[in-house]
Amino acid sequence: MSLDPDDSAPGLRELLAFYAEAGVDDALVEEAPDRFAEAKRAAQSVAAAPPASAEETRVAQRQAAVASAPSRPPAMAVVPDETQIALARQRASQANTLEELRQQLADFDGCNLKTTAKSLVFADGNPRADLMLVGEAPGRDEDLEGLPFVGRSGQLLDRILAAIGLDRQSAYIANVIPWRPPGNRTPTPQETEICRPFIERQIELVNPKVLVTLGGPAAKLLLKTSEGILRLRGKWGIHTTASQVAIPTMPTLHPAYLLRNPAHKKLAWRDFLEVKAKLRLLD
């Protein structure tokens, strides 16, 4: 959230943007409740009530104890571990087509992110395209529509693709993580490792001529590096699939980052000019 340094408090627009990024989607009630008035009414009600019997008091105490007891975690929650990572590798390797891979992901319950997301965000675009782009994880808009990059970041990505003569029908777009993390938080390393076999198999099945990673997390995962994105971007790397196919890979800045730092759009533009030249060379 960007604030005007001259303002002493955030404006309404910035506050709403903060709530949206935090995953607060809807108001619980139309009007804010007056808790002070509720407390006053409750006190008056207690004062007006006749004194309770000893038995009524014991029942009320038992009910209060039950209500205050800690609840058990949801039965559907899954704690990521090595077993789930191994299962993900097995499931991904069994998929021989993209549709089979999508079904494997839909049936896979080994990632806790699935229990809080509304949709499986698998991919968008043309699976036979020469260019594949991979981001990190879906956001709120993507979770609602079940497609990657459909919010403000996606609109900017569409404009970037158009600038090099491409669109969603001439590219294939996916994410490392196919489920939205709650509140758009950063996926944990274990969540990323559980999802890694699926995105790597997805890349292998698409077999693009050129791969573009959008943002640092995708670049680090698919290029097996620990360098930051500002050092990685603009330099060609290689992503090697399980079948030992080497795919030229361009790491670049994520569109969401560019929305927050518009001065760096010129860097992404240089990167995509390199991508355009590489596609022409490999055509």
Please classify residue 167 by burial: count the beta carbons closer than 10 Å to its beta carbon, then call 0-12 exposed, 13-18 middle and 19+ buried: exposed
The total of structural domains in the chain comes to 1
Find residue 133's DSSP bridge partners: 173, 212
Whole-number mean pLDDT of the chain?
85
Residue 25 within a domain = no
Report whether pLDDT(78) > 60. no
Greater confidence (182 vs 28) lies with 182
| Residue 272, C-beta contacts closer than 8 angstroms, at least 6 positions apart | 160, 163, 164, 212, 252
Instruction: List the one residue out of 123, 66, 82, 91 whose CA is nearest residue 198.
Output: 91
Write down the pLDDT at residue 145: 96
Instruction: List the one residue out of 162, 273, 155, 256 whose CA is nearest residue 214.
Output: 256
Residue 54 within a domain = no
Residue 234 within a domain = yes
Q: What is the rounded distance in angstroms from the CA atom of residue 215 to the CA atom of residue 201? A: 20
Residue 156 within a domain = yes
Greater confidence (204 vs 15) lies with 204
Residue 27 within a domain = no
Inter-residue contact 280 to 209 (CB < 8 Å): no
List, for residues 239-276, the tens digit of each pLDDT value. 999 999 999 999 999 999 999 999 999 999 999 999 99
- As a whole number of Å, the end-to-end CA separation of the chain is 42
Residue 233 within a domain = yes
Residue 6 within a domain = no
DSSP sequence for 88-151: HHHHHHH--SHHHHHHHHHH----GGGGT-SS----EE-TT-SEEEEES---HHHHHHTSSS-S
Report whether pLDDT(98) > 90. yes
Residue 135's domain is classified under what CATH number?
Answer: 3.40.470.10
List, for residues 122-172, the tens digit of each pLDDT value. 999 999 999 999 999 999 999 999 999 999 999 999 999 999 999 999 999
List, for residues 19-55, the tens digit of each pLDDT value. 665 555 555 555 666 666 666 666 665 555 555 555 5
Q: What is the rounded distance in angstroms from the CA atom of residue 274 to the CA atom of residue 236? A: 9
Residue 153's domain comprises 82-282
With the C-alpha atoms ordered 262, 265, 266, 267, is the resulting torsion angle positive or negative?
positive
Map residue 263 onto helix, strand or coil.
helix
pTM above 0.75, yes or no: no
DSSP strands (E only) in the chain: 124-125, 131-135, 172-175, 210-214, 237-240, 246-252
Report whether pLDDT(8) > 90. no
Residue 219 within a domain = yes
Hunting for tokens 């005007």 — which residue is that? 4
